[in-house]
Structure formats: structure tokens, C-alpha cells
Chain A
């Protein structure tokens, strides 16, 4: 029996949540954590180890980059991150995928009701 392989490798939940959080503006780690929790209605609760382990991978893959803080108020020792162009492209591709799934499921619900 041959094995099937998906053509699209979707991002893991945590990576997706971080990219979504950074889609609004550059953020430091704790802000990313809070935004991810808000975006998921409390279902995604990150802790520091998982957060920075994933940030490390996203930096390595070139989907996010570190920036210098804009003002002295934002500085101190916090590191801020933002999406790269590749990060934006990847996030948009994932959102398009989920959007399509929602569209298909709505059509199917309408079909079942009729």
C-alpha cells in the first residue's frame, strides 16, 4: 500500500499563533504570548520555554526577524520581533487555506440542510 503525503505542510499551532500575533505590529515575547491567547479565545496559552523555542525556529526559517526597539521606553532588555516578507507570505498562504476550508464547510452545511 503506498503512503499519501500532503502537498501543503501546515505550520504547527504555536508557530501559526506567533505569526498571527506579529501580523498586527512588532512585539516582544510577552506581548506575543498575550495576543496569541486573545486570538484563540484563551485556548492557546504559551509558556516561556515553548514561546522562545518556537521563536528560535521561526528566526532560523526566516519567517520573523528581530528589530531594535523604536523608543527608549520600549527598550530596556526586551527583544522585539516582526514578520519578514517570507513570514507574511507564509501567513497569508495559511489563512487562505483555512478560509477555503471554512467556505467549503459552509457549502456542505447548506447542502445537508436542504
Chain B
């Protein structure tokens, strides 16, 4: 590897080599589009950790989809051969098992090599409550400018004729053990373009929390990263 090489170009050149895993016809038909799309994905990912996660995703996807394309190809060849023999059936099974074995080995290695610094999104209020145990935090107050910046970066979507904000959709349905449709009030205390912080209070005794919510790249979607109980309910019992 030459020093000073753009890592983006290096990943793409590795990806072009990986395309040889696909059947030739598929490569001829879609190879260029696959590379263009992978390039777009890499360009849209700004952090090193993000590119690492993306590359893992693309690698796994390539192994699975290449195995599938070979299987479909082989199936078509056998279908065209009216004298499908037991030997052909056996070869097909061997090919599929080989592909699955390679995929299983690679996935295992990638899972073992997962960087400790990656933070999974928060998905459960019970987890938040457990993490809050023993803490003592003041609830964050609203900052109008931060709130305006969040709304300006946010993207909306329309479903069944009603327009929602992605930020609101995440707040109302992004936490698994809060029933959908539970009312909430929230403040936005700060926003740096990637992380927004504030306080969220759910109705129905689900509590009040200082939250951190992360904006995902691309379409303005969000994931809760953390919640810590604040104010009067600094630690509350788990939801039954």
C-alpha cells in the first residue's frame, strides 16, 4: 500500500476486485453501477468509524449476494438441462454450503474484530433507567436557536397523508418500551450538527430524562444514544 493514498480510492479498488466473486454476466450488467453506488455511500460517510461500519456492511452484502447470484445462475443451468442429474444437484448443494461457510467465517471474524468505541443506539427505556441508577442530574432547558437548527437539519416524511418530522418520529416511537402514541414534551438545549441534547418527559409515569440523540448521515434520521433520569425522578423503577 503506497503512503499518502486516498483511503476512499483504496476501498473502491478492493471492492472492484471483490466484484469478481459475482458471475461474469452479472458483473458485466451491473458492475459499473455497483462501484458507482459504493462510491456514493463512501462519500456520504464522514467519519472513520462510519466508513469502517459501512465497509463491513458492503463486504458481508457482497459475499451473500454473490453466493445468491451463483446459486440462481446454477439453478438456471440445471433447469435448462432436461437431464438434471444427481451429480448436478450435489454440486449445487456443495456450492451453497461453501458460500454459507465462507460467509459465516467472515461474519464471525468481523464480529470479533468490532471496535469497542462503536456506541449502539439506545432502544429501551429500561436500559436508560438502569444506567440512571445513582445519578443526580438537573434537567436541561430549551435553547431556541439550537431547536431551530435541529428543525432546519431535520427531514420530514409523509405517511398516509400526514407529514411527520423524523426527530419527532424518533422521540415518539424510537424507544421500545414506551407505547406508541405516548405524549411527550421535550426541550432541545444544544445541537452541534451531529448530537442534540435536551430533556424529554413522557406522559403516563414513564419519567423525565436528559437525552442525547444522534443525527444519522443522509436523510435526517435520528437514534437515541443515551438517556439519564433527571430532576425529581433521578432514578425510577423499571417499567413492568
A90 at the interface (CB under 8 A from B): no
A53 at the interface (CB under 8 A from B): yes
A89 at the interface (CB under 8 A from B): no
Residue in chain B with minimal CB distance to A43: B221
Distance between B111 CB and nearest chain A CB, rounded to angstroms: 17
A108 at the interface (CB under 8 A from B): no
In contact, A30 and B221 (Cβ under 8 angstroms): no
In contact, B36 and A41 (Cβ under 8 angstroms): no
B143 at the interface (CB under 8 A from A): no
Interface of A is mostly: helix
- With A30-B37, A37-B221, A56-B26 known as contacts, the answer to whether A49 contacts B166 (CB < 8 A) is no
In contact, B169 and A48 (Cβ under 8 angstroms): no
Residue in chain A with minimal CB distance to B26: A56
Interchain CB contact (< 8 A) of A39 among B157, B160, B220: B157
In contact, B219 and A51 (Cβ under 8 angstroms): no
Distance between B212 CB and nearest chain A CB, rounded to angstroms: 17
Interchain CB contact (< 8 A) of A37 among B30, B62, B65, B218: B218
- With A30-B41, A56-B26 known as contacts, the answer to whether A41 contacts B218 (CB < 8 A) is no
A1 at the interface (CB under 8 A from B): no
In contact, A41 and B68 (Cβ under 8 angstroms): no
A2, B34: Cα distance in complex, Å: 44
Interchain CB contact (< 8 A) of A53 among B32, B57, B68: B68
User: Chain A contacts of B66 at CB under 8 A?
Assistant: 49
In contact, B30 and A52 (Cβ under 8 angstroms): yes
A29 at the interface (CB under 8 A from B): yes
B155 at the interface (CB under 8 A from A): yes
A55, B37: Cα distance in complex, Å: 13
In contact, A47 and B223 (Cβ under 8 angstroms): no
B33 at the interface (CB under 8 A from A): yes
In contact, B65 and A41 (Cβ under 8 angstroms): no
1/0 per residue, CB under 8 A from B, across A33-55: the answer is 11101110110010111111101
Residue in chain A with minimal CB distance to B121: A42
In contact, B36 and A38 (Cβ under 8 angstroms): no
A52, B22: Cα distance in complex, Å: 12
CB interface residues, B 20-40, toward A, < 8 Å: 22, 26, 29-30, 32-34, 36-38, 40
- With A30-B36, A30-B41, A78-B33 known as contacts, the answer to whether A38 contacts B62 (CB < 8 A) is no
A55, B157: Cα distance in complex, Å: 24
Residue in chain A with minimal CB distance to B220: A38
In contact, A47 and B29 (Cβ under 8 angstroms): no
User: Chain A contacts of B41 at CB under 8 A?
Assistant: 30, 33, 47-48
Distance between B102 CB and nearest chain A CB, rounded to angstroms: 14
- Which 9 A-B pairs have CB atoms at the shortest separation, nearest pair first? A49-B65, A47-B61, A38-B219, A30-B40, A42-B221, A49-B61, A48-B37, A52-B30, A29-B37
**B residues engaging A (CB < 8 A)?**
22, 26, 29-30, 32-34, 36-38, 40-41, 57-58, 60-62, 64-66, 68-69, 155, 157, 160, 166, 169-170, 173, 216, 218-221, 223
